[in-house]
A and B are shown apart, each in its own frame.
Chain A
Amino acid sequence: MEPVVHLAGVVAVLGGFPVLAGADLRVERGEILLLRGPNGAGKTSLLRLCAGLLPVERGDATVLGCDLAADRTAVRNRVGLLGHANGLYADLSVADNVAFWGATVGASAEEVAASLDRMGLSGRLAPVPVSRLSAGQRRRTALACLVARRAELWLLDEPHAGLDAAGRDDLDATLRDAAAAGATVMVASHELERAGALATRVVEIVGGQVRE
Chain B
Amino acid sequence: MSTWRIARLIAAKDLRIELRSRVVTNQVLPFAALVMVMFAFALDNDAVLTRVAPGLVWLATMFSMLVLVQRTFAVESADGALDALQVAGVRPGGIFLGKSLALAVELAVLEVVLLIAAVVLYQADVAGSGVVLLVATFVAATTGLAFVGTLYGGLAAGAKGRETLLPLLMLPVVAPVLIGATRATEAAFGTNGATSSEGWPWVGLLVLFAALFGLGGTLAFGSLIDE
Contact flag (A, B; Cβ within 8 A): yes
Residues of A at the B interface (CB closer than 8 Å) are 51-53, 73, 76-81, 83-92, 96, 100-101, 103-106, 129, 145, 149
Interface-facing stretch out of B12-20, B44-52, B59-67, B139-147: B12-20
| Complex partner residue of A83 from B75, B80, B88, CB under 8 angstroms | B80
B81 touches A88 (CB 8 A): yes
B89 at the interface (CB under 8 A from A): yes
Residues of B at the A interface (CB closer than 8 Å) are 1, 6, 9, 13, 16-17, 20-21, 75, 78-81, 83-90, 222, 227
Complex-state Cα separation, A85 to B85, whole angstroms: 13
Known A53-B83, A85-B79, A104-B1; further 20 A-B contacts with Cβ < 8 A: A53-B87, A73-B86, A73-B222, A78-B89, A81-B84, A83-B83, A84-B80, A87-B83, A89-B75, A89-B79, A90-B79, A91-B21, A92-B13, A92-B20, A96-B13, A100-B9, A101-B84, A103-B9, A104-B88, A106-B1
Complex-state Cα separation, A195 to B90, whole angstroms: 31
A76 touches B89 (CB 8 A): yes
| Complex partner residue of A88 from B9, B16, B79, CB under 8 angstroms | B79
A86 touches B21 (CB 8 A): no
Please name all residues of chain B whose beta carbon is closer than 8 Å to the beta carbon of A149 when the two chains form the complex. Answer: 88
A87 touches B84 (CB 8 A): yes
Top 7 closest pairs, chain A to chain B, by CB: A77-B89, A85-B80, A87-B84, A76-B89, A91-B21, A91-B20, A104-B88
Complex-state Cα separation, A204 to B90, whole angstroms: 33
Q: How far is the CB of B125 from chain A (nearest CB, A)?
A: 39
| Complex partner residue of A73 from B6, B13, B84, B89, CB under 8 angstroms | B89
Q: How far is the CB of B213 from chain A (nearest CB, A)?
A: 23
Q: How far is the CB of A129 from chain B (nearest CB, A)?
A: 7
Q: How far is the CB of B66 from chain A (nearest CB, A)?
A: 21
B17 touches A89 (CB 8 A): yes
* Residue from A73, A86, A104 having most chain B Cβ neighbours under 10 A: A104
A76 touches B9 (CB 8 A): no
B87 touches A80 (CB 8 A): yes
| Complex partner residue of A92 from B9, B16, B84, B90, CB under 8 angstroms | B16
| Complex partner residue of B87 from A51, A84, A86, A103, CB under 8 angstroms | A51
Complex-state Cα separation, A80 to B83, whole angstroms: 11
Please name all residues of chain A whose beta carbon is closer than 8 Å to the beta carbon of B86 when the two chains form the complex. Answer: 52-53, 73, 76
Complex-state Cα separation, A113 to B9, whole angstroms: 18
Complex-state Cα separation, A91 to B80, whole angstroms: 14
Q: Nearest CB to that of B227 among chain A residues?
A: A53
